[in-house]
Amino acid sequence: MKGFKFSGIHAGIKKNNQKDLGLIYCDKPAVAAALFTRNKVIAAPVILCKEKIKSGLCQAVLVNSGNANCFTGQKGIEDAKICSKLTANTLGIAEELVFVSSTGVIGAPLPMDKFETGIPDVAAALNENRTDDFANAILTTDTHNKIVQKTAKIHGKEFSIMGIAKGSGMIRPDMATMLAYVVTDVDINAKELKTALLAANEKSFNRITIDGDTSTNDTLLALANAASQVKINDLESKKLFQSLLDQVCFELASMVVKDGEGATKLVKIIVKGASTKEDAFKTCETIAHSNLVKTAIYGEDPNWGRITAAAGRSGADVDPEKIDLFFDDQALVLKGLWQGGDAEKKTALIMKKDEIEITLDLNLGEETDFFLFCDFSENYVKINAEYRS
């Protein structure tokens, strides 16, 4: 990516030898836009970055894994500021242009000695080809890194968007839970970038869930450095940029759900025929968050009653005699009636796939929405029971 460098090292923040300190650096201040957690328990780095983003500019992002720097009081905020200042001094840039993010265990203070020695090392390792190192350094319970890059042309000029994310647990649409960084070489102002980021988020990270929990550290940050000289300033360029940004965010969001803690299946639930947009969203959300639905998916059991029951308690307008339910293109329920044993056997075969699409048609209106979610296995319990050990 033109004008951006990345790095990731093991600084000793984690107990093992995995990378735990990452850095993104732009060769000049970049236009910035961000979204943050809606949780009322907010980590120190989020508090700090909420203030810094008001300038609309950012040049470096320091990210650590292994420690969330949350519920750490005033000391946590001061430690986040020290990390920002150390990074700025090392890079020779203004402190207000340095953002910090943290992810990991809540409650423990940052091991500041690890940052004092690690920040010079992670800065020295910066390179335009070390996106993998950065992506690995921000992981917690993830099983692999998550990177998506797309390229397109506007008026004959090429531009790119790259997204890097972490997320595996504590995922729900409250912007959703993860750290995600999007870098692009287009020329766009902060207001337009924020508008595009909000729209992309609504169709991606705000439509995923793993366990229904919302983190304290959620950050979605976008940086644009204008290195491609592609201006996003007319209807055609805005439409193409939005389309590409939507694709990057959706693919990252899908990767997060697919890598859900203990997950074995990626599921898309589509609710159509709702009488209002709110009803479509509520129905999708309730089904996607249902532990009974998620365990049935894991067991490859076409227990459709769990899905219709979740729809019925969602608060949406639902008429059980009008419901149609499909797994991929296999009808399991039509007009509220089970389609029999053969249909259920065919559905059970579909449920053996790694990726499944479920469509619930309420037949009450024209509104549609969707969610991405995963199944719920015993490994989810095991991973979280052992997380701090």
* Chain center to CA of 273: 28
Residue 177 annotated among the catalytic residues of the structure: yes
Determine the length of the chain: 389
d(CA 44, CA 363): 46
List strand residue ranges (DSSP E) for the chain, in order: 4-9, 21-36, 57-67, 98-105, 146-154, 157-166, 179-184, 208-209, 219-224, 266-274, 324-327, 330-334, 337-338, 355-361, 367-374
Marked catalytic residue, from 72, 90, 177, 219: 177
d(CA 94, CA 150): 31
How far CA 355 is from CA of 142, 293, 297, 360, in Å, comes to 19, 15, 11, 17
Task: Give SS3 for 150.
Answer: strand
d(CA 316, CA 272): 12
- Active site positions, annotated: 177
